[in-house]
A = this chain, B = another copy of it.
Amino acid sequence: MPVVGMAGGGQLARMTQQAAIALGVQLRVLAKTAEDSAARVVADARLGDDASLEDLLAFAKGCDVVTFDHEHVPGPHIEAVTAAGVPCRPGAPALAHAQDKLVMRNRLSGFGAPCPRYAPVPAADPIPFLQDFAEGRVVLKATRGGYDGKGVWVVDPRDPAARALLEELAGLELMVEEFVPFRRELAALVARSPHGQGAAYPIVETVQEDGICVEVLAPAPDLPDDVRAEAQRLALEIADELGVTGLLAVELFDTDQGLLVNELAMRPHNSGHWTIEGARTSQFEQHLRAVLDLPLGATEPAAPVTVMANVLGGDDPDLYSRYLHVMAHDPAVKVHFYGKDVRPGRKIGHVTALGDDLAEVRARARHAADYLRWGPAMKDHAMKEKA
């Protein structure tokens, strides 16, 4: 049975282990510490830093293929592993588009994929440039290293605060994008294998708060068939054009003028956690099948409606005591915890509910996620928030 190496010890590697156990393939992870989310549950966890070429090469030795649970492994490191004879999936040329937002925008625009209007921001005297770029607010992005709303700022270049922010960000490579008045955000998750097979999951709606995904509704409610088909086609086209192997998540803005690509990720993605129970093949199994060049699994939904809600850390680290209420209240809700220490606002787990009626399923997922975050104080918190 093959050995799949996954660089990174986060929850994506952790949940990939569940799929690897079923397939009988050995998952090896490269984690920074033994307390990392995946290192806690994977027998073959190696400790090291995937930003170190030496650590990465030692890790890759004996793997049949190497893949990633994040985008931060430097491209030249990935090329070196490939040169050492271990295929990396996705490869460095594809992954570059998930590592650098400007590279991604240039490439996507090159073959006509719809994107917000964008431009690189000059390092010298950026304010007049930004004022020329658009009338009102614009979206500033660090080209590299952002996640979960970090590395993204919405500013009005005419506002004095913009000058202060840009001084703070001096030295960071920035790009600017038009502020898109979207109706909602969607995500298209597809897989592509080295021999070119593709598979698309149902299009989902992602609900964000403060730049963090809090809910995923699968399938996206009230999505016209032609938009759904276009989103799937677009994601498969991007995977093909970029030569992605493994999963590709395409975050989309649903606007009055049609779909626009927001971000790309080439790995299992938060917007696909619902597939563990909600689709015939989980995204984690699909990623393993794709990077191993095995035939891809069926993406059909397992229920009419699936809702995934992220559990964010609250003030109280004692999650386990809340299982009693959550499981007794709703014996059918599925709880996933990542073995991470609780910090306020940190993604520490998720819950999934399935059923026939969106409002009911969404309320069930929401209740469980909120209760796990706030515990018995949930009501007080909700009242405070309203006040």
**Chain A interface (Cβ within 8 Å of chain B)?**
1-2, 14-15, 17-18, 20-24, 26, 39-43, 45, 199, 276, 280-281, 289, 294-298, 300, 302-303, 319-320, 323-324, 327-328, 331-332, 334-339, 349, 354
Contacts and interface: CB of A to CB of B under 8 A. Distances in A.
B24 A338 contact: yes
A18 B284 CA distance: 13
Contact of A297 (B22, B295, B302, B332): B332
Given A199-B331, A281-B331, 13 more contacts: A15-B21, A17-B41, A18-B18, A18-B21, A23-B337, A24-B349, A26-B339, A42-B43, A280-B332, A295-B324, A295-B331, A297-B327, A302-B302
Contacts of A349: 24
Contacts of A280: 331-332, 334, 354
B22 A337 contact: yes
Report how many copies the assembly holds.
2
A14 B21 contact: yes
A331 B297 contact: yes
A15 to B, nearest CB: 7
B297 A23 contact: no
Contacts of A294: 323-324, 327
Nearest to A1: B320
Nearest to A14: B21
A336 B22 contact: yes
A298 B24 CA distance: 28
A299 to B, nearest CB: 8
Contacts of A18: 18, 21-22
B337 A24 contact: yes
Contacts of A276: 22
Contact of A327 (B14, B21, B295, B354): B295
Contacts of A298: 331-332
A23 B303 contact: no
Given A320-B2, A323-B294, A335 B23 contact: yes
Nearest to A326: B295
Given A289-B327, A296-B331, A327-B294, A339 B24 contact: yes
A51 to B, nearest CB: 23
Contact of A39 (B43, B281, B303): B43
A303 B304 CA distance: 12
10 contacts: A15-B21, A17-B41, A23-B323, A24-B338, A26-B40, A41-B43, A43-B43, A280-B354, A281-B332, A302-B303
A296 to B, nearest CB: 7
A225 to B, nearest CB: 22
A352 to B, nearest CB: 10
A335 B285 CA distance: 10
Contacts of A354: 280, 302
Contacts of A199: 331
